[in-house]
Amino acid sequence: MNIFITRKFPDAGLQLLKDAGHTVTEHTEQRNLTQDELIATCKTQDALISIGPNKLNDTFFKACGNLKVVSLMSVGYDNLDVAAATKAKIPVSNTPDVLSKATADVAFLLMIAVSRKAFYLHQSIIDGDWDFYDPNANLGIELYNKTLGIFGLGKIGLEMAKKCKAAYGMDVIYHNRHQNAEAEEEIDAKYVSFDELLQQSDVLSVHANLSKETKGLFNKDAFSKMKPTSIFINTARGEEHNEADLLHALQNNIIWGAGLDVTNPEPMAKDNPLLFMPSVCVLPHIGSATVETRNAMAVMAAQNVIASLQGEKLPNIVNGEVYGE
């Protein structure tokens, strides 16, 4: 059968698809497909592996009802209209769990980098500003025995919490829609209200899925409740924070620093003031960018497609309703 992939696919997953006897077409240009291009292409395909920002909405599913399966090479699915996919009776899969450790590594990296102004001070070497020693200059803050707040204590948040507890002896508090009894037992995490999370966290790390409830949640009001010595970390989705409000909070010493692997909008403009602030570190959405993790994601995405095209239930299903669940 015919499978279209919106990016050049990692070899580990590509070989699985070919070994299963399918014909694979990859979009290899260094640009995003337009929505019209995606729809036109998918009308002749049996399966789609979607990588990137294309909107899989009602218009897409109405036009591409021929598809037997859509596989997302991501854990998040905020660009998917789940109801539209279900109405079209097209199962959609994602790639959960396999990127938890890699993404938590990036959150941990950003936390340390922000606490020591690492990106800014690296740039000062490039700019030729490493000269006179001033014992009062370039001071960071230590993380030992501080309080880590996790917004969204799922698998990625738990990995972040375990690293912080092991490395720095940090106390862990969290806010979820529901309490996580397993995490509470494993790392002695304490469930708190959202306001308590803001008020008590020395480091607040965002790991929740993007939804109507979380979109723009970290705004001027939220930042105003945080400690002036606190660090804000977001490796989830950029739309969960209001970037203008974040900039205001940093410029006015309402919070101390920020580490972002996701931005709002994305990509970030190269002249964004956040890129030039001492206690801000920004990365270009590389949470899952390791050889091991991207291969694992590709294999999982391929396995979901192969299963569906063989008439089997997808191992990782987003809209189980298509199976009557």
pLDDT of residue 295: 97
Tell me which of 26, 37, 184, 266 is the catalytic residue: 266
Tell me which of 116, 237, 241, 294 is the catalytic residue: 237
Q: Calculate the alpha carbon distances from 265 to 41, 166, 237, 239, 268 in Å.
A: 27, 34, 10, 7, 6
User: Collapsing DSSP states into helix, strand and coil, what is residue 63?
Assistant: helix
Decide: 197 and 175 in contact? Cβ < 8 Å. Answer: yes
The contacts of residue 65 (CB under 8 Å, 6+ apart) are 88, 90
Active site residue 266: yes
Please state the separation of Cα 252 from the chain's center in Å: 27
At 322, the pLDDT band (50, 70, 90 cuts) reads confident
Decide: 143 and 163 in contact? Cβ < 8 Å. Answer: no
Active site residue 116: no
At 325, the pLDDT band (50, 70, 90 cuts) reads low
Domains and CATH numbers, the chain: 2-97+290-323 (3.40.50.720), 100-282 (3.40.50.720)
Predicted confidence (pLDDT) per residue in 48-67, tens digit:
999 999 999 999 999 999 99
Tell me which of 116, 241, 285, 294 is the catalytic residue: 285
